[in-house]
Amino acid sequence: MAGAAYKRWPGWLAMALVFAALIAIGVGRAAEPRTADQRVQAISKRIACPVCNGESVADSRAPSSDQIRANIARLVTEGQLSDDQIVTEVDSKYEQDLRLVPSGTGIDALIWVLPACAAVGGAAGLWAAFTRWRRRPTQAGPTDADRELVEAALRTDTADPAGSDSGPGDDDRP
């Protein structure tokens, strides 16, 4: 049985290495320097159009979105603020919340993390239950207690065969 467990490790190890490589590639690509136009486009996708429903500033052609894109381009060319600071700067100028991507702190982080934790916890619970059910021996037939119960019932029926069929009010009347 122990030999079978060792045969599965190379597959899991290979999957872990592939996962680590993909994470490293993803992090490396995110760290690449971007041009000013790429930054403006990325920031514009994170801000909602103040007059359009469900559209980002990058997708909208409304005059207010054009003004916001121009403001973002100006802030990017000045080079003094990070992308998150530019989003905060633009969002602070409007009454409504224009952020399409929530921040990664506080309640917003919980809103994103809790469903993922619930899904992982549910999957782990199902895995544990299925593993326990698979290891539990199945009963192929009746147990000794079942046999004793049947024998006791048969002894009671054979001791009083005439009385068991007569119901209440069944007298020996013609």
58 and 122 both lie in a single domain: no
58 and 86 both lie in a single domain: yes
CA-to-CA separations, 174 to 161, 166, 170, in angstroms, rounded: 21, 15, 11
Least confident of 9-13, 42-46, 129-133, 150-154: 9-13
**Local confidence band at 174 (pLDDT 50, 70, 90 cut-offs):** very low
33 and 92 both lie in a single domain: yes
Q: Is residue 159 part of a domain?
A: no
In whole angstroms, give the CA distance from residue 110 to residue 116. 10
56 and 76 both lie in a single domain: yes
59 and 86 both lie in a single domain: yes
32 and 108 both lie in a single domain: no
| Boundary-marking domain end, from 101, 125, 144 | 101
> Is 0.75 surpassed by the pTM of this model?
no
Domain carrying residue 64: 13-101
Residue 45 contacts residue 100 (beta carbons within 8 Å) = yes
90 and 112 both lie in a single domain: no
**Mean pLDDT, to the nearest integer, of 145-166?**
77
Q: Is residue 73 part of a domain?
A: yes
